[in-house]
């Protein structure tokens, strides 16, 4: 899809989405385009900067704040799990399956599992999610 900034003869500005660049010209020549504000069919493309999808510059303003905010949120989730769920160590897969099947008390648990164990749980419909990683120690960060 291509987005164009458009305008009519009366100065109303709006945008239009087209499947291909030639679609604008074809629709305009057939009189299919009109201004949503006044109904004018004299619609033309406006000057606009291209929208390029890709990697953002490292120095983008606010990128560091966004990353820090996300790291803090993940740390809060991890603390909540560690404070309120039962740690079951390497028996996580066995205990999660037992809870799912009603053979063990229904409660929040966390622990370790191999990738194969996790796949088996997911394949069997047992709800599991990865634990957010531990935040880096301040003295381990540059």
Are residues 39 and 82 located together in one domain of the fold? no
* Domain limits for position 105: 63-140
pLDDT at 57: 58
Are residues 89 and 123 located together in one domain of the fold? yes
Structural domain count, the chain: 2
What are the pLDDT digits (tens) for 36-64? 888 899 999 988 766 666 655 555 667 77
Average pLDDT of the residues in 98-119 = 94
Query: In the structure encoding, which two tokens stand for residue 78, read together?
Result: 């991890």
* Distance separating alpha carbons of residues 20 and 5, to the nearest angstrom: 15
Give the CA distances from residue 105 to residues 33, 39, 74, 111, 127, in Å, rounded to whole numbers and listed in that order: 63, 65, 27, 16, 15
Are residues 24 and 80 located together in one domain of the fold? no
Query: Would you say residue 56 lies in a domain?
Result: no
Are residues 34 and 102 located together in one domain of the fold? no
Query: Would you say residue 17 lies in a domain?
Result: yes
pLDDT at 50: 66
Tell if the pTM clears 0.85, that is, is over it: no
* Residue indicated by tokens 């309120």: 84
What are the pLDDT digits (tens) for 82-107? 999 999 999 999 999 999 999 999 99
């Amino acid at each position: 899809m291509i987005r164009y900034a458009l305008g009519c003869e009366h100065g109303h500005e709006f945008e239009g989405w087209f499947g291909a660049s030639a679609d604008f010209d074809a629709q305009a020549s057939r009189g299919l385009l009109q201004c949503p504000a006044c109904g004018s069919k004299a619609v033309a493309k406006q000057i606009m900067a291209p929208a390029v999808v890709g990697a953002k510059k490292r120095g983008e303003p606010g990128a560091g704040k966004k990353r820090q905010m996300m790291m803090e949120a993940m740390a809060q989730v991890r603390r909540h799990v560690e404070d309120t769920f039962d740690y079951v160590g390497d028996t996580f897969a066995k205990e999660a399956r037992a809870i799912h099947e009603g053979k063990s008390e229904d409660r929040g648990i966390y622990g370790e599992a191999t990738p194969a164990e996790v796949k088996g749980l997911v394949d069997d419909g047992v709800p599991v999610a990865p634990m957010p990683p531990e935040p880096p120690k301040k003295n381990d960060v540059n």
